[in-house]
Structure 1
Amino acid sequence: MKITIFGDICPTKDTQAAFDRGDRESIFGDTFREIESSDIVIGNLECAVTDQPKPIQKAGPVLYTGVQSIQTLKDFDILSIANNHIRDCGDEGVMTALETCKKLGIRTLGAGKSMQEARKPLVIEKCGIKIGLMSFAEQEFNIASDIRPGACYLDLYDDFDRIREFRKTVDYLIILYHGGIEYFPYASPELSRKCRKMVDCGADLISCQHSHCIGTIEQYNGSTIVYGQGNSVFGYRDGDNSWNRGLLLQVEFQKAGSSFSSLFTYKGMVATSKGLRWMSEDASENLSNELKAREQLSQNRVAVQKEWDKFCDSLGKIHLPLLLGWPKILIAINRRTDNSLIKMFYGRLAYNNTHNLIRCEAHREVIDNLLSKKDFS
């Protein structure tokens, strides 16, 4: 049995026409044969689905596609829709995604009409092997509630226990985690702790999606963690090597009597103006060397922390002004002047107060409650 896992899939300006006409071979290119030859095909649908888009108020881009586009994914057996864009068009965008997939015979995972529905795992039973699937997303404007459709997030108080109990009912557990910081090729300290804990609770394979770049592949306690699968179908960007690259993940199972063996592999693919293509031999070798170097460095916590600190410093020119609610013009000036405005107007006391509001669990809970309300009055 062979399971193939794609990463983030979203129609964009350069692929929307092909999605609308159902041109699967044009979109998936070289990888289409793997779709046809696999027993189970899984992907992450990273957009709302609606023919009558009514975008919600949020930060960041709004991603959606029409119902017709989903016909292009009819060869997929399972689509995870636990991601940060599934509620971009509100309840209707989530429910239409669920209903459209159901009509096409595609099972969905990680989102539902309520949090109770969104949290339900899936079981695939094939060739006498039971494969478990769970999917989680980080919290943005996407999360379900008891009365609202949306995505499932990783609840640190409950879900590690759920993972542990679910693992007892299956032979192999795959977890798709839509999280991690974008464009960082290593695991942040927090992401590493979460994923390793999921392994300790029974996960055999974890794929972190969302980061839009290929990350580090770590072997931990006999399991595999992919800290960044990269894009699968998310448009082609001329000259952006990181954006255009992705990993196709595969697990092959061999049954021998009452036991079985599993083999994890990956293939490098590249988005082009003519669909997905396999990486060239040279590019594949370079990628393999990159991943080996990252895995080796990831064993050194001090070295990874230095990479994390350096990456966060680069984001500070944007994140700190955003945190303060500055307008775009001031953010642009601050960025181009190497954080000079922040250094000028944001003193130590302001830093300490802001840090305390975010770091302290009690204060952060209050801030989250206040900011989640539409009316501050």
Structure 2
Amino acid sequence: MQKTLLFVSIFVLSYSIQAQKYSKEAIDSMYSITKITQEKLKTPEFIKVMAVGDIMMGTDFPNNSYLPPDGKGPFDDVNEILTQADLLFGNLEGTLTDEGKNAKSCSDPSKCYSFRSPERFGKYLEETGFDVMSIANNHIGDFGAKGIKNTAKTLEKHNIAYAGIFAQPSTIFEKNGITYGFCAFAPNKDCIKIHDLKNAKKIVTELKEKADIVIVSFHGGAEGHKHTHVPRKTERFYGEDRGNVYLFAHTMIDAGADIILGHGPHVSRAFEVYNNKFIAYSLGNFCTYSRFNLTGIKGYAPIAEIEIDKEGNFIKGKLHSAKQIDEIYPFMDKNKKALFEIKRLTEEDFPESQLIFNDDGSFFQQKE
């Protein structure tokens, strides 16, 4: 009898241990399934990318008279729009450094356009929600290697991804369950070259293997109000080869890029949709305090809102019109001049894209 009871006790104990084991395995399995489901739910079906052009929030070179007065943030009057982005991009037109000597040869410093924004201004970019910035442009080297290094450190301090210099041609980062690859190009000496299509294709192809969405930025094209159109050929300005931005954009998309964001001409240019991918050929000036000519169309400051799917295909967009006046940070433009300028240029330069713009700024591709 005692042996029988002992056997029964051992059997019950063994069953209880196995039941606990299977229960734990079941719980672990359910937890794993729940976690995967939550991750899928967290990943957005559509992504709202916002992009703006040149940003130079003020410079202390050659003196502090080119810095804004304390108290007002650079993006205070446009934050209501910018903070709605799932991903926010801008071009940093200059440096963020408290150190470094002017690298340009200027007999009169007051006429030397070198931009040195204080490192403390990095907080404005973070507070507004900039996720990624291009530093590939003709002003990143204004204060030499020290200025480039400090700019990179400042952006890192404020959790902003960046690319476009020799030390960092590209970058990969994650947000809301989406992995982004980003690279940036320019014709200038301190930057990854826009002219080297072979190298640019290699960078984009490698990013595409690792990232869900690949974004390419370029600083290129001739400058000023006479150069609002995309000529579909190499552009030269002051004797410098500024790249063939049309060929560059199409080549990058063919290599795997999902969005192309251009800047450099200091004026707005057309939008295009090529193979279901969005291209902005120039987003002009956006937040450029003093030292910039902001008359007429140079003061238009478009905010491009692009909705894409998880494969990077263009779904729809909205163009928010802001503007600038010298020594006044960007503010929303009730007359929507940036919208009407880009609408006109897009219809003239890329009618094949069949982009339809509405008066509220929304736009979409009319497909046959």
What pairs with 1:233-244 in structure 2 (closer than 5 Å)?
Answer: 233-235=287-289, 240-244=295-299
Larger Rg: 2
In the alignment, is the contact (CA less than 8 A) between 2:54 and 2:90 conserved in 1? Answer: yes
Name the structure 1 match of 2:67. 16
Distance 2:294 2:92 in 1: 25
Distance 1:242 1:261 in 2: 27
Name the structure 2 match of 1:31. 78
Greater relative contact order: 1 or 2 (C-alpha under 8 angstroms, separation 6 or more)? 2
Distance 1:161 1:44 in 2: 23
TM-score by length of 1: 0.65
Count of residue pairs brought into register by the alignment: 279
Name the structure 1 match of 2:330. 276
Whether 1:72 and 2:124 are equivalent positions in the alignment is: yes
Output one character per residue of 1:62-118: Cα deviation in whole Å (capped at 9) or x when no partner: 22122222222222222221111111110111111111222222222223xxx2x32
In the alignment, is the contact (CA less than 8 A) between 2:305 and 2:317 conserved in 1? Answer: yes
Name the structure 2 match of 1:352. none
Name the structure 2 match of 1:357. none
Distance 1:153 1:259 in 2: 25
Q: 2:188 aligns with which of 115, 122, 139?
A: 139
Name the structure 1 match of 2:192. 152
Distance 2:316 2:171 in 1: 23
Q: Percent identity?
A: 23
Distance 2:317 2:281 in 1: 15
Shift in CA distance, 56/270, structure 1 to aligned 2, threshold 3 Å:
same
Distance 2:160 2:192 in 1: 19
TM-score by length of 2: 0.67
Report the RMSD for the aligned CA atoms in angstroms: 3.0
Distance 1:286 1:77 in 2: 28
Instruction: State the SS of the aligned residue for 2:281.
Output: strand
Distance 1:212 1:12 in 2: 17
* Equivalent position amino acid for 2:77 in 1: D
Name the structure 2 match of 1:130. 179
Name the structure 2 match of 1:203. 257
* Equivalent position amino acid for 1:5 in 2: A
Distance 2:214 2:150 in 1: 28
Shift of 1:263: 3.4
Whether 1:265 and 2:318 are equivalent positions in the alignment is: yes
Shift in CA distance, 253/6, structure 1 to aligned 2, threshold 3 Å:
same
In the alignment, is the contact (CA less than 8 A) between 1:186 and 1:227 conserved in 2? Answer: no
Whether 1:95 and 2:149 are equivalent positions in the alignment is: yes
Q: Which runs of 5+ in 1 are unaligned?
A: 144-150, 300-377
Output one character per residue of 1:110-154: Cα deviation in whole Å (capped at 9) or x when no partner: 23xxx2x3213323342x4333222112124xx1xxxxxxx3223
More helix per residue: 1
